[in-house]
Amino acid sequence: MTPSGDHSTAEALGLLVKETQAILHLRMAERLRHLELSVPQYACLQALDHTPASTSSDLARHAFVSRQSMNVLLQGLEKRGLIERSEEPGPRRERATVLTPAAISLLGRARTEVAAVAKTMTGHLSASDTSRLLTLLSSCRDALVESGAG
């Protein structure tokens, strides 16, 4: 028996969003591989570009990884000379992190790769459909964030 009504439509939408996210992640990983970047590393560099001196906890939230995974990720980026971490720990003993010039250059190339994936994803949509989809998905995200606050 197939469920009917809004419940099944909402469930199907949730599954479609998850499937789309998984394929998007795969395509981004494919495009970033030649730059020797993973999707979480890219997300971390993006977050640092938008919010310099972020802590590893902040970066973990932006990259959708655990704090422990973020610390390993940051160690790898630091060894590659892509980030610098302050010597002095801040609140909660975390060290602020900033991008190096090499990371800024790499991030520019990575953004081009990710933009190509996004363009493929939305290529069959009109500009107004893309804008509307952005608004609708933002609303869905916000509803989930609000539901977790209670």
Q: pTM of the predicted model, to two decimals?
A: 0.84
pLDDT of residue 114: 98
- List strand residue ranges (DSSP E) for 1-150, in order: 83-85, 97-99
pLDDT of residue 56: 85
How high is the mean pLDDT in each 10-residue block of the chain (150 residues)?
66 95 98 97 95 86 91 95 80 75 97 98 97 97 85
Helix axes 101-122, 6-32, angle to 10 degrees: 140
> What Cα–Cα distance (Å) separates residue 115 from each residue in 49, 92, 126, 136?
16, 36, 17, 21
Q: Rounded distance, CA 42 to CA 48, Å?
A: 10
pLDDT of residue 99: 94
pLDDT of residue 116: 98
DSSP per-residue codes, 95-128? PPEEE-HHHHHHHHHHHHHHHHHHHHHHTTS-HH
Q: Rounded distance, CA 23 to CA 30, Å?
A: 11
Strands 97-99 and 83-85, by their bridges, are antiparallel
Q: Mind listing the domains of the chain with CATH numbers?
A: 20-147 (1.10.10.10)
Q: Rounded distance, CA 98 to CA 51, Å?
A: 9
pLDDT of residue 2: 47
Closest CA to 114 of 28, 49, 52: 28
* Number of residues in the chain: 150
The set of long-range contacts for 6-15, using a CB threshold of 8 Å and a minimum separation of 24, is none
